[in-house]
């Protein structure tokens, strides 16, 4: 099965960003870690912050109060449709969306007081090149913080679906597991140091979330927002039913009184320019 993905992988070509579906599929988990990322990047009032892979603005939404009325958040994303979603969602004059490739940022060197990248770096074709760009645009002494997903078993809400879909479309396995491509803490630490960052550290952080039901978990997948949902909706109907039932079975250990209670681990990597 061949699927044409738009830049950034999360929105199908020609599709508008369904911010609600994206929030329920990715944002509800992402937001649990954003405060820690913003703190690690040392975002303070008056800060000029760059939010790379801003998506529909989940991190920017939390960053705006941190920079205050004298600061600004530049939200960069390679997918214009995602930027439209972020702009429509935030409606804040201190948020400036910019279409940009994180591996070739259109900014002068030493421009920003802080750089964050929330759940984007693992999708870069060349993450090391992206980190070098993060370092380049930072002012000396300022920090960058990146958040990436841990291993599939420590992020079951995505790992289980990736594993099950791989049984039906084994030729897409690498893409389905791209979300977990930077789950090795030692590798991420080495990449940050190789990009020129100092005072590098990588921390494993866990959070827990409760979802009302399996149907609530599954509903945003039908919207096709994200690389895994896009692959799912492209399957024949009989395979979609089979995938759903297998995922439901594998997630049953997380069920309690009809709710799904799952913990997720992410890696937060930090470095100073």
The rounded distance, in Å, linking the Cα atoms of 206 and 73 is 26
Tally the domains of the chain.
1
Where does residue 134 fall: left (phi above 0), alpha (psi -120 to 50 degrees), or beta otherwise? Answer: alpha
- Model confidence at 167, pLDDT cuts 50, 70, 90, reads very high
What pLDDT shows up at residue 252?
97
In a domain, 10, yes or no: no
- Model confidence at 37, pLDDT cuts 50, 70, 90, reads very high
Identify the domain containing residue 105 by its residue range. 19-272
In a domain, 13, yes or no: no
CATH number assigned to the domain comprising residue 56: 3.40.50.150
In this prediction, residues 225-254 reach a mean pLDDT of 96
Residue 140's CB: how many other CB atoms inside 10 A? 7
Residue 4 has pLDDT above 80, yes or no: no
In a domain, 171, yes or no: yes
- Model confidence at 236, pLDDT cuts 50, 70, 90, reads very high
In a domain, 8, yes or no: no
In this prediction, residues 168-194 reach a mean pLDDT of 97
What pLDDT shows up at residue 5?
74
Q: Answer with the residue of higher pLDDT: 19 or 113.
A: 113
In a domain, 2, yes or no: no
For residue 91, the 8-state DSSP code is: -
- Model confidence at 15, pLDDT cuts 50, 70, 90, reads confident
What pLDDT shows up at residue 257?
96
| Percent over 70 (pLDDT), the chain | 99
What pLDDT shows up at residue 187?
97
Q: Convert the pLDDT of each residue in 103-157 to its tens digit.
A: 999 999 999 999 999 999 999 999 999 999 999 999 999 999 999 999 999 999 9
Of 138, 154, 158, the C-alpha closest to 146 is: 138
In a domain, 158, yes or no: yes
CB 188 within 8 A of CB 268: no
Q: Answer with the residue of higher pLDDT: 80 or 185.
A: 185
DSSP 110-146: T-EEEEEEES-GGGSSSHHHHHHHHHHHEEEEEEEEE
| pTM for the model | 0.95
In a domain, 1, yes or no: no
Those residues with Cβ within 8 angstroms of residue 107's Cβ, 6 or more apart along the chain or in another chain = 50, 74, 137
Instruction: Using alpha carbons, list the distances in angstroms from residue 158 to 63, 135, 161, 222, 266.
Output: 25, 30, 5, 14, 12
Residue 8 has pLDDT above 80, yes or no: no
In a domain, 3, yes or no: no
């Amino acid at each position: 099965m061949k699927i044409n993905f738009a830049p950034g992988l999360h929105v199908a070509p020609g599709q508008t960003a369904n911010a609600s579906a994206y929030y329920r599929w990715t944002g509800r988990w992402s937001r649990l870690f954003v405060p820690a990322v913003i703190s690690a990047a040392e975002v303070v009032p008056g800060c000029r912050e760059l939010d790379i892979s801003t998506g529909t603005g989940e991190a920017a939404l939390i960053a705006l109060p941190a920079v205050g009325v004298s600061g600004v958040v530049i939200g960069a994303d390679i997918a214009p449709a995602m930027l439209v979603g972020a702009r429509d969602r935030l409606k804040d004059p201190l948020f400036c969306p910019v279409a940009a490739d994180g591996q070739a940022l259109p900014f002068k060197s030493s421009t920003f007081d802080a750089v964050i990248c929330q759940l984007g770096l693992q999708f870069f074709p060349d993450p090391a090149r992206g980190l070098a760009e993060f370092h380049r645009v930072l002012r000396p002494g300022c920090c960058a913080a990146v958040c990436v997903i841990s291993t599939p078993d420590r992020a079951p809400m995505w790992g289980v679906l990736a594993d099950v879909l791989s049984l039906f479309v084994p030729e897409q396995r690498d893409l389905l597991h791209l979300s977990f491509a930077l789950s090795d803490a030692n590798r991420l630490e080495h990449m940050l140091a190789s990009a020129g960052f100092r005072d590098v550290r990588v921390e494993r952080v866990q959070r827990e979330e409760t979802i009302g039901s399996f149907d609530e978990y599954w509903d945003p997948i039908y919207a096709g927002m994200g690389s895994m949902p896009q692959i799912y909706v492209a399957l024949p109907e009989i395979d979609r039913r089979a995938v759903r039932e297998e995922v439901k079975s594998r997630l049953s250990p997380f069920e309690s009184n009809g709710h799904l209670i799952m913990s997720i681990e992410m890696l937060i990597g930090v470095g100073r320019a």
